[in-house]
Chains A and B, each alone.
Chain A
């Protein structure tokens, strides 16, 4: 059941969804950390899986999800302790714009890292006999 689409409802719904996704990530993160105790070989195997392209994509998605949750969290703090209860829609869109800029910066940085990794792999393959 829903009432109407508007910034406040969208913000709340996405906050819920992003919260659930971050919880899933936390479980995955604990799973990865857990393999630290199984020695370097096992840990390397897990890290090889996590270095795959699909996980790189997940990593980019994770940054978006965390950034959204963070920006909306700031919005809720501003509603509860600031004056945003009268301008919550404007505050939402301004924070989303800042979030998008931060996301682009993060992706830019990460993409550089990924490209570097791919380049490194390609170089390694060329060197290999």
Chain B
């Protein structure tokens, strides 16, 4: 056990005029994650501390937050990997609902617009699944791993400027289906992808690549979508 200092962003819109930071000094174990630290604070020091968490396995995407200036999953980030004081803040670019919780309404609205599901106009075979060749399946690598935590979209200046922009997560998800050889939904998605809130709003700043806790490359998805749209237009 050792002592670590957590500096945590606090804001309750019902009672606070301005956000502020609370500091907690707690005993932590070597194997603890940031989420373990937050749980220890909530359970033993301040029960009013609010944050989202669910699976604790880096797959639900609930606990994405900014840890020492970098977007990360609290359940994956080891306390031992952070030097000095640990500053925990909510994801940027989204309205704060309370403490470390943010309102991701626009984020999920944008996601719905790209129809993130398989669109195929022919009936599937009755005796088996829709099969793919290993090569076709490989095309999906680097896209299906997205857990929709919002870390990338939160770091995107184009999204800060206009939260109607679909953002890197929704565009990565759109590409996941468009590059799927079983999908036939490009015609249904092209309208929103080719709109003012679509792929052309990306300024290739690469913040999303820096922010992704799963080491994905949403900018690549956006570039590939742009090429696909150009091909379609030509």
Residues of A within 8 A of B (CB): 1-4, 6-9, 12, 76, 79-81, 85-86, 88
Q: How many A-B residue pairs have CB under 8 A?
A: 53
Q: List, in ascending order, chain B residues with CB within 8 A of A6's CB.
A: 206-207, 210
Interface contact B205-A85, CB-CB below 8 Å:
no
Complex CA gap A5/B227 in Å reads 28
CB distance from A4 to the nearest CB of B (A): 6
Using known A-B contacts A6-B210, A80-B226, determine if residue A1 contacts B92 with beta carbons closer than 8 Å.
Answer: yes
Residue of chain B at shortest CB distance from A6: B210
Number of interface residues of B (CB under 8 A): 22
Main secondary structure of the interface of A (DSSP, over half): helix
Complex CA gap A76/B219 in Å reads 12
Interface contact B219-A85, CB-CB below 8 Å:
yes
Q: Within the complex, which residue of A3, A80, A81, A88 is in contact with B155, where a contact is CB–CB below 8 Å? A: A3
Complex CA gap A1/B157 in Å reads 8
Interface contact A80-B223, CB-CB below 8 Å:
yes
Additional pairs, 6, CB under 8 Å, beyond known A85-B204, A85-B220, A88-B204: A3-B211, A4-B70, A8-B206, A8-B209, A80-B223, A86-B217
Q: List, in ascending order, chain B residues with CB within 8 A of A9's CB.
A: 205-207
Q: Within the complex, which residue of A2, A4, A79 is in contact with B204, where a contact is CB–CB below 8 Å? A: A79
Using known A-B contacts A85-B217, A86-B217, determine if residue A4 contacts B207 with beta carbons closer than 8 Å.
Answer: yes
Q: List, in ascending order, chain A residues with CB within 8 A of B217's CB.
A: 85-86
Q: List, in ascending order, chain A residues with CB within 8 A of B69's CB.
A: 4
Q: Within the complex, which residue of B203, B210, B219, B226 is in contact with A3, where a contact is CB–CB below 8 Å? A: B210
Complex CA gap A48/B51 in Å reads 66
Q: List, in ascending order, chain B residues with CB within 8 A of A86's CB.
A: 217, 220
CB distance from A3 to the nearest CB of B (A): 4
CB distance from B138 to the nearest CB of A (A): 16
Using known A-B contacts A8-B207, A76-B204, determine if residue A3 contacts B92 with beta carbons closer than 8 Å.
Answer: yes
CB distance from A98 to the nearest CB of B (A): 19
Task: Flag whether B160 is at the interface (Cβ < 8 A).
Answer: yes
| 4 A-B pairs with the lowest CB-CB distances in the bound complex, closest first | A8-B206, A3-B155, A12-B205, A85-B220
Complex CA gap A85/B222 in Å reads 10
Residue from B203, B206, B217, B227 whose CB has the most chain A CB atoms within 10 Å: B206
B187-225, CB under 8 A of A: which get 1 and which 0? Answer: 000000000000000011111011100000101100100
Residue of chain A at shortest CB distance from B220: A85
Residue of chain A at shortest CB distance from B204: A79
Q: List, in ascending order, chain B residues with CB within 8 A of A3's CB.
A: 71, 92, 155, 157, 207, 210-211
19 residue pairs bridging A and B, Cβ less than 8 Å apart: A1-B93, A1-B157, A1-B160, A3-B92, A8-B205, A8-B206, A9-B207, A12-B203, A79-B204, A79-B219, A80-B204, A80-B227, A81-B227, A85-B217, A85-B219, A86-B217, A86-B220, A88-B204, A88-B206
Interface contact A8-B226, CB-CB below 8 Å:
no
CB distance from A100 to the nearest CB of B (A): 22
CB distance from A61 to the nearest CB of B (A): 25
Complex CA gap A12/B208 in Å reads 14
